[in-house]
Structures are given as C-alpha cells and as structure tokens.
Amino acid sequence: MRGLCRLPVHIGMTAAITAVFSGGALALAAPIWVGLLNSGVSFDEISDAFSAPANPGQVELVFKVLGSALWGGTGISPSGLLIPIPLFYLSTRWRVAEVALMAEGTGPLQSLHRSWNLSRGFVLRTTGYLLLIIFVMGLVGGVIGLVVDSAVDALFPELDQS
C-alpha cells in the first residue's frame, strides 16, 4: 500500500528523467536527420527502404539510406558520437534515485538530487558494476539462447530456420 502511495511521485521522477534523456536523444538524432536531408536521398527512397517487405534488391537501398544518414550525421556533427557519454553518466548518477524515492520518501526532483549526492565519488565504481552486470546478463542470455536454439534444432530438424 505504501508503494502505491508513492506511485505518482515515481511517475513524476520517471517523467523528469525521460524529459532529460529525450532531449539528449533529440540532440543525437538531429545531426543524423540533417545528414540524411543533405545526402540527396529522396523521401520516396527512404519510405521504400523501410515500408515495403524486404527483398534482395531492397537491401542495397536500405544500406544506402542508412549509410547516408549515419555518414552525413557524424560528418556534420561529431558531437552526435559524444552525446551517449553524458547520458550514460547521468543514468549512472541517478541509479539510486528510486531507492531514495521509496526509502526516504523524497519527491521526484529531490530523489534525483539525493541520488546525485550519494553517487558523488563513486561514478567509476558504479559504472564498473553496471558494465559487469550487463556482461553477465548478456552471457547468461546467450547461454540460454544457445540451449533453446539447440533444443529447437534437435526437436524440429526439418524446420526452416530462416
């Protein structure tokens, strides 16, 4: 019941974090869109590349569109490559905001501020833990995927995998 009482505050904190990360994502996407618009690829080609069912001739078009967008975006604004670094830093500093929100009963912005203060001096350690957890999760997920894939191959050898 106490957790449900804190739900509106949690929604507010999530909205604040989403606003910050959305701004970063828009800043990241803007150079790519500018590069795509300056690349000379028509809107019809972009639409055809991603709306029609895939066929062998379309793969070249998809790569042309993606190559134009990524090359143009990174060529126009190298900062597009650097924006994920501050977003990762912010997510590391705000990692314990939910704990502060629930355990200490703070508001949305106060929880983010408290998390910021708690993580001061521990950013590299927290980043290391996060990277270790991501690695272990990927390893466990890969092993489970391999086991399931092997089981499906053994049970249904005539099944077309494509």
Residue ranges per structural domain of the chain:
2-120, 122-162
Query: 104-150: per-residue pLDDT in tens?
Result: 888 889 999 999 999 999 988 988 888 899 999 999 999 999 999 88
Inter-residue contact 9 to 107 (CB < 8 Å): yes
For residue 27, give both structure tokens.
């800043």
Q: Which residue has the tokens 């990692």?
A: 95
Query: 64-78: per-residue pLDDT in tens?
Result: 766 766 665 555 556
> What's residue 27's pLDDT?
77
Radius of gyration of the chain (CA): 22
Query: 10-48: per-residue pLDDT in tens?
Result: 899 999 999 998 888 787 777 667 766 766 667 777 676
Inter-residue contact 77 to 70 (CB < 8 Å): no
Provide the whole-model pTM: 0.60
Query: 39-90: per-residue pLDDT in tens?
Result: 666 777 767 666 766 666 667 766 776 676 666 555 555 666 677 788 888 8
> What's residue 54's pLDDT?
63
SS3 for 156? coil
